[in-house]
Amino acid sequence: MRLDTDNKGRLIILDIDENTLSLDKTLDCGETFRWYKLSSNIWQGIVGNQVWMLKQDKKENTIHTNLNFEDKAKLLEYFDLNTDYNIEINKLNLNDDNFALESINCGKGIRILKQDLWETMVSFIISQRNNIPKIKKSIVKLCDVAGSSAEVPNPEKFGMPYLYRSESLMMFPTPEQIVKHQKEIRENCSLGYRADYIIKLARDISLFNQRYVSKTYTEILKTLPSNKQMEVLLKIHGVGPKVANCIMLFGLHRLENFPIDVWVERISNTYYKGNINPKKYGKYSGLIQQYMFYNIRNNKI
DNA sequence: TACCAGGTTAGCG
DNA sequence: CGCTAACATGGT
């Protein structure tokens, strides 16, 4: 894998195959809710304050982007591309565990993204007792109602026909913005009973940040040991074991966390006699969980 | 129409 | 403790 720019100064990843990073799998496997597929190989999403457009060419093994070269560290960080997942995966002893072996093969190319912690917390509170298309819609509405406009790097230059969704180009709202727009959020975002959870959390964090000006709530949470992080998360109203595990895995990049939702429950019952054992999958068990989740959802076994 | 969706809470015994 | 109804909403 190496980085370069095209003749218009846009960042390109070269020599990257689908087994290392598959945009299709990673951006549509239920760990992130802010990406949209614009055409057969172009994805658009909002990361921080920027609108990213990514085009994966599976024959050339390249990913073209609308980013500037200076954004290279952000791109590598977001897709966790400085880590070789295979090193840990290959250490596992999965002799007779056919479902895991099949899932690893089926899911290779999935990355555990390094997403914004606050956004991940809210997104997975929304995810409870909900389905992925509806989660995505609620988040779009939440951003439209309460967020600020995102920047589009190199807007008019992104090869291909000029494709991009004109709607949903808003940043994820801050806790303060959510508190400020709570009425519209309750009325217009199809959040149901989850709206109260999110607004309460936004209010608590916003108050915390007013008191402790040196560091923010999320900055502090990131520095805690993982058992303390879990403790803090489980005290949040509306966060139970499953959502806390998702926040640990997708928001705090604690790859040993193995969220158990209805799909994984189904996997456990079908392939593991109701007794799936996350510890067996080592310190990247969360990644294995994502491979399994992808496998069962896409093959609808 | 009844059931489901990347669950959690509150209230019961 | 463990068990379970209720929780909002939109899609099928």
Alpha-carbon distance of A262 to A111, in angstroms, equals 22
Q: How confident is the model at residue A124 (pLDDT cuts 50, 70, 90)?
A: very high
Which nucleotide is the nearest neighbour of A192, by CA and C1'? Answer: C8
Gap from A266 CA to B10 C1', in Å?
A: 27
Q: How far is the CA of A253 from the CAs of A85, A115, A129, A257, A279, in angstroms?
A: 13, 9, 23, 9, 17
Q: Is residue A279 helix, strand or coil?
A: helix
| Residues A122 and A138 sit within 8 Å (Cβ to Cβ) | no
pLDDT, tens digit, 9 for 90 and up, residues A58-96: 999 999 999 999 999 999 999 999 999 999 999 999 999
* pTM for the full predicted model: 0.97
Alpha-carbon distance of A20 to A176, in angstroms, equals 38
| Residues A210 and A94 sit within 8 Å (Cβ to Cβ) | no
- Whether the per-residue pLDDT at A167 is higher than 80: the answer is no
Gap from A226 CA to C2 C1', in Å?
A: 28
pLDDT, tens digit, 9 for 90 and up, residues A204-228: 999 999 999 999 999 999 999 999 9
Alpha-carbon distance of A113 to A81, in angstroms, equals 9
User: Which nucleotides of chain B have an atom under 7 angstroms from any protein CB?
Assistant: 4-10
Q: How confident is the model at residue A168 (pLDDT cuts 50, 70, 90)?
A: confident
Q: Please tell me the predicted confidence (pLDDT) of residue A301.
A: 52
Which nucleotide is the nearest neighbour of A189, by CA and C1'? Answer: C9
In order, the DSSP letters of A66-80 are EEEGGGHHHHHHHTT
User: Which nucleotides of chain C have an atom under 7 angstroms from any protein CB?
Assistant: 7-11
Alpha-carbon distance of A37 to A46, in angstroms, equals 12
- The reply to whether A128 Cβ lies less than 7 angstroms from strand C is no
Percent of chain A topping pLDDT 90: 90
- The reply to whether A134 Cβ lies less than 7 angstroms from strand C is yes
E strands, A48-156, where? 50-57, 62-68
pLDDT, tens digit, 9 for 90 and up, residues A232-256: 999 999 999 999 999 999 999 999 9
Alpha-carbon distance of A184 to A195, in angstroms, equals 10
- The reply to whether A129 Cβ lies less than 7 angstroms from strand C is yes
- The reply to whether A112 Cβ lies less than 7 angstroms from strand B is no
- The reply to whether A131 Cβ lies less than 7 angstroms from strand C is yes
Q: Please tell me the predicted confidence (pLDDT) of residue A300.
A: 57
Q: Please tell me the predicted confidence (pLDDT) of residue A161.
A: 47
Q: Please tell me the predicted confidence (pLDDT) of residue A69.
A: 96
- Whether the per-residue pLDDT at A154 is higher than 90: the answer is no
The DSSP call for residue A148 is P
